[in-house]
Structure 1
Amino acid sequence: MVLSVQFGLDDVPFVQLGEHTLRLDLEELDEEYQERSRKELRETPEVVENAIERLKTLLKGEETLNVPIDDIPFLTKFLRPCKFYPDSAFRLIKRYYKFKYKHPELSNNLMPITIKHVLESDVTAFIPVRLDNGCRMMVIDIGKWNVKEVSVNDLFRTIMLILEVGMIEPKTQVAGVHVLLDMHGLTLTHIFQFTPSFAKTALEFIQECVAIRLKGIHVINQPFIFKMLWAIFKPFIGEKLRKRIFFHGYDLKSFYAHISKESLPTAYYGTLDIPELPGTLLADMLLKYDKEFEYCNTIGYTNEYVKEKAVAVE
């Protein structure tokens, strides 16, 4: 069977992988996830209504920030990871868009077409089914990274875009994300792409800015030289993230203690019989959302923000 991007009756693109379907879950929460969000995130009608009104008021006061204040799904994707505390969500939104403003080399024109070559290289992957706890899982396969074809900035831009995809899925907002870092094939050439400055910037985004519930980062198959890479990133890792990083080495039993092998495809150390998703298809599917990503690039701080900061310094 030739895999391809198809469209359902709801006009949502998907890829059929045997008995499984990869598509973005953009629907409202079903009863199971509603109950889960109520228990874990305080999501009740009254809490949500009050949080949205408070967040709208706070955003109206941030005059140099261009955001769709009346877009409830937009507000909700920041409120859920903050357990519907509006002041926390407001601070998260400001950090998120200030990061984007400060780092145009990572954030400008962040669309599938601009990182298509990275997706096609398969160095990053999106496991096509949810884990048994409902989480999404992103894979970074270092051994497939050709540094001559994919810059470290473009690699991180791709990670940012995949995380943004997770941010817009209501189920992922509730369940969260796991990341699998497969270090098999790590070389000094890879390590030399990273600088302390880059590590600090990347970890600022992951720890302070991204609106997602990061459940765990699982490092597997790391060779001895991984210690050099860890030494670059370690000084910038806070206590909260440190507790979510698990080093499994070549011990898959350690990995399975966190992630059930029954919920992983065979291509990613599991037992689930599902065809591997080529990066070319993931790119093709995300390209169908070009207009949505183009709109996302219009949101953020305006040039007036810089003028305002300059006046404050004077």
Structure 2
Amino acid sequence: MFHLEPPTPDQQVLIRQALNEDVNTRDKDLEAIKDWLRKEPHLPDTWDDTMLMNFLRSCNFSLEKTKRRLDKYFTVKAVVPEFFTDYDIASPEIRKILNMVEIGTMPGITPQGRRVHIVRIATPEYEDFDTNCCGKVLFMLAHIYFKIEKEASAGEIYVLDGENCMLKHFLKFSPIFAKKFLVCTLDVLPVKIKEVHILNPPFFVDSIVALVKPFLKEKFFKRAHFHKDLSTLHEYISKDLLPEEYGGTAGKLKLHWDKYLAACEAFKPWFKEQEKIKADESKRPGKATSYEDFFGLHGSFRTLAVD
């Protein structure tokens, strides 16, 4: 199973400052959110304390922001089942995606208190995959990370390797999918993306940017960096926080990917329980929230903010 190195005392101070986390009041804030959940008829009465604390941290311990994000989270679980149900790695659809990729979270942490995640397509020889299933797998892995990150980080750094990304596969991803995926990631999950590094960008990278640009604020693109080789990547991320395939000393990426695969199996009972924990729109006070409210032309999430 996973082992993520905890932050040093100095890093912990930086992280708590970045998240506005007060060790003297955070438990009281957690209880306030749990009490709020019990009073909302359309939301689950109880939930996982680790996950709730992650939402508080992602919202800098603002109770009102946390409530809004949690409401969105439980709602999209109800209206986007294609992303949030059937987390079974034995299913042929999910197994196909798992065989295509290698994803790893590095055990160490940057001096700024951030975690480094590596995502790459393992082979260009993949065909006939479902884009919604791609989203499902990524959200499944994200939930594993949220569950095992006990100490919190000050944000996430993603390294996306485009070496085996091919145009015929990119063409499967529609603007509708892009918007749905980005809304569920940036406006719903308890995640703070601080840097995105695109290594070996494919020749059609401008088309990828054009696909996602309508849904993201300029602030996000200032955090994106493109690297044609490892030399410039190492200027941002130290080698002890990169796998061997990327000139680092943190072990093989495949070993870190195997940890995620083992966790997918170990978390199966927890995933099954989580499917029941979602909003019941028939009990929401006022107008029920629909799929169109999130993703339609008149939805509320036209352009996504990034913390």
AA in 2 matched with 1:123: V
Q: TM-score, normalised by structure 2?
A: 0.80
Mark the runs of 5 or more structure 2 residues left unpaired by the alignment.
Answer: 291-307
Identify if the C-alpha distance between structure 1 residues 275 and 242 changes in structure 2 by more than 3 Å, giving closer, same or farther: closer
Identify if the C-alpha distance between structure 1 residues 216 and 111 changes in structure 2 by more than 3 Å, giving closer, same or farther: farther
3-state SS, counterpart of residue 24 of structure 2 = helix
What corresponds to 1:227 in structure 2?
A: 206
What corresponds to 1:245 in structure 2?
A: 224
**Alignment partner of 1:275 is 2:242:** no
Q: State the 1:145 CA deviation.
A: 5.6
Moved more, 205-214 or 59-68: 59-68
Identify if the C-alpha distance between structure 1 residues 209 and 215 changes in structure 2 by more than 3 Å, giving closer, same or farther: same
Alpha-carbon distance in 2 for matches of 1:197, 1:97: 21
Alpha-carbon distance in 2 for matches of 1:149, 1:308: 42
Instruction: Report Cα offsets for 1:33-62 as digits up to 9, x if no partner.
Output: 653443222322333144224323432332
Identify if the C-alpha distance between structure 1 residues 26 and 96 changes in structure 2 by more than 3 Å, giving closer, same or farther: farther
Identify if the C-alpha distance between structure 1 residues 118 and 306 changes in structure 2 by more than 3 Å, giving closer, same or farther: farther
What corresponds to 1:117 in structure 2?
A: 95
Identify if the C-alpha distance between structure 1 residues 253 and 174 changes in structure 2 by more than 3 Å, giving closer, same or farther: same
Moved more, 140-149 or 184-193: 140-149
**Alignment partner of 1:254 is 2:228:** no
3-state SS, counterpart of residue 173 of structure 1 = coil
3-state SS, counterpart of residue 139 of structure 1 = strand
Alpha-carbon distance in 2 for matches of 1:149, 1:130: 36
What corresponds to 1:5 in structure 2?
A: none
3-state SS, counterpart of residue 246 of structure 1 = strand
Alpha-carbon distance in 2 for matches of 1:34, 1:271: 24
Instruction: Report Cα offsets for 1:62-118 as digits up to 9, x if no partner.
Output: 21111525x532321211111211111111111112222221112122344456515
**Alignment partner of 1:99 is 2:76:** yes
What corresponds to 1:160 in structure 2?
A: 139
What corresponds to 1:126 in structure 2?
A: 104
Alpha-carbon distance in 1 for matches of 2:265, 2:114: 23
Moved more, 180-189 or 235-244: 235-244
Q: Is the 8 A contact 1:111 1:161 kept in 2?
A: no
Q: State the 1:224 CA deviation.
A: 2.1
Q: TM-score, normalised by structure 1?
A: 0.79
Identify if the C-alpha distance between structure 1 residues 37 and 65 changes in structure 2 by more than 3 Å, giving closer, same or farther: same
Q: State the 1:201 CA deviation.
A: 0.8
What corresponds to 1:193 in structure 2?
A: 172
Q: Is the 8 A contact 2:94 2:133 kept in 1?
A: no
What corresponds to 1:85 in structure 2?
A: 62
Identify if the C-alpha distance between structure 1 residues 60 and 222 changes in structure 2 by more than 3 Å, giving closer, same or farther: same
Match of 1:47 among 21, 25, 45: 25
Q: CA RMSD in A?
A: 3.0
Identify if the C-alpha distance between structure 1 residues 290 and 146 changes in structure 2 by more than 3 Å, giving closer, same or farther: same
Q: Is the 8 A contact 1:79 1:85 kept in 2?
A: yes
3-state SS, counterpart of residue 153 of structure 2 = helix
Identify if the C-alpha distance between structure 1 residues 65 and 260 changes in structure 2 by more than 3 Å, giving closer, same or farther: same
Match of 2:190 among 211, 233, 242: 211
What corresponds to 1:38 in structure 2?
A: 16
AA in 2 matched with 1:203: L
Instruction: Report Cα offsets for 1:188-224 as digits up to 9, x if no partner.
Output: 2112111111111111112211102222111111132
AA in 1 matched with 2:223: R
**Alignment partner of 1:75 is 2:52:** yes
Identify if the C-alpha distance between structure 1 residues 25 and 263 changes in structure 2 by more than 3 Å, giving closer, same or farther: closer
Q: State the 1:281 CA deviation.
A: 5.7
Alpha-carbon distance in 1 for matches of 2:151, 2:217: 23
Q: State the 1:146 CA deviation.
A: 5.0
Q: Is the 8 A contact 2:5 2:107 kept in 1?
A: no
Alpha-carbon distance in 1 for matches of 2:109, 2:175: 33
What corresponds to 1:141 in structure 2?
A: 120
What corresponds to 2:302 in structure 1?
A: none
Mark the runs of 5 or more structure 1 residues left unpaired by the alignment.
Answer: 1-13, 15-22
AA in 2 matched with 1:73: T
Q: Is the 8 A contact 2:241 2:249 kept in 1?
A: yes
Identify if the C-alpha distance between structure 1 residues 64 and 146 changes in structure 2 by more than 3 Å, giving closer, same or farther: farther
Alpha-carbon distance in 1 for matches of 2:162, 2:38: 45
AA in 2 matched with 1:150: F
Moved more, 90-99 or 239-248: 239-248
**Alignment partner of 1:287 is 2:273:** no
What corresponds to 2:276 in structure 1?
A: 298
Alpha-carbon distance in 1 for matches of 2:236, 2:115: 14
